[in-house]
Amino acid sequence: NAGVTQTPKFQVLKTGQSMTLQCAQDMNHNSMYWYRQDPGMGLRLIYYSASEGTTDKGEVPNGYNVSRLNKREFSLRLESAAPSQTSVYFCASSAESYLPLHFGNGTRLTVT
Amino acid sequence: SQQGEEDPQALSIQEGENATMNCSYKTSINNLQWYRQNSGRGLVHLILIRSNEREKHSGRLRVTLDTSKKSSSLLITASRAADTASYFCATDAGSGNTGKLIFGQGTTLQVKP
């Protein structure tokens, strides 16, 4: 049982490049989330999907788009990367939106 | 903006001692959760306490919640070197159980063997 799997683990981009961060969960959870973690800032919610077919903005959605591809997969896309998007990105899921989150191990993204 | 503020930012203790971390928040909540993060890893859920609960235990963990003061504390008793990690509180910001958790900045705990 892998839980929440994120790919890639590490990525370096140049300013203006695009990329998609992948996330998949095998726990049949309804809700999925994308957070970013910056030093001294804790975790901030980028986007979330309460259930398959729905997505909503979190605290810091600018510069990102998401796709809930199916119940298992929730991807995060950076259309034109900026140095301010250098961060560690975490995907999480929960059985229902009011239950505890299960996190992946993160994607460490550097934008130069 | 951060809902949860944690105190202290860093804590260093000897193995066997107790560790207490505090979390304060600003708006009404449905529940408050504590998570642990080991270096280079994702967060792991420790305990959830609902707004109508005052205290909850799980193994060596004890969490209290004071909604009148908008604060919570996490006590780890008889700490072990393996407890070395960052600890985060998270609240649901009272927005109808949407699951939109807001995390504090965390307390970094070092337990020396």
| A90 has pLDDT over 60 | yes
> How far away is chain A from the Cα of B13, in angstroms, using its nearest Cα?
22
Residue B3's pLDDT is 61
Q: Is A52 helix (H, G, I), strand (E, B) or coil?
A: coil
> How far away is chain B from the Cα of A54, in angstroms, using its nearest Cα?
13
Mean pLDDT, rounded, of chain A: 94
Residue B1's pLDDT band (boundaries 50, 70, 90)? very low
Residue B98's pLDDT is 65
How far separated are the first and last CA of chain B, in Å rounded?
A: 37
Contact: B104, A42; criterion CB under 8 Å: yes
Between these two residues, A15 and A96, which has the higher pLDDT value? Answer: A15
Contact: B45, A100; criterion CB under 8 Å: yes
pLDDT (tens digit per residue) in A39-55: 877 899 999 999 999 99
Mean pLDDT lowest for which of B2-6, B20-24, B32-36, B84-88? B2-6
pLDDT (tens digit per residue) in B16-74: 999 999 999 988 888 999 999 999 999 999 999 999 999 999 999 999 999 999 999 99
Q: Which of B41, B91, B101 to mutate to test the interface with A (most CBs of A within 10 A)?
A: B101
Residue B94's pLDDT band (boundaries 50, 70, 90)? low
Residue A2's pLDDT is 79
Between these two residues, A109 and B6, which has the higher pLDDT value? Answer: A109
Q: What is the DSSP string of B2-65?
A: -S-EEE-SEEEEETTS-EEEEEE-SS--SEEEEEEE-TTS-EEEEEEEETT-SEEEETTEEEEE
Contact: B43, A103; criterion CB under 8 Å: yes
Residue B96's pLDDT is 59
Task: Give the integer Cα–Cα distance in Å for A77 and A92.
Answer: 16
Question: What per-residue string of b and e applies to B31-63 under the rule 16 or more CB within 10 Å gives b?
Answer: bbbbbbbeeeebbebbbbbeeeeeebeeeebbb
Task: Give the integer Cα–Cα distance in Å for B108 and B10.
Answer: 5
Residue A99's pLDDT is 84
Picking from A4, A42, A102, the nearest residue to B105 by CB comes out as A42
Picking from B2, B98, B103, the nearest residue to A97 by CB comes out as B98
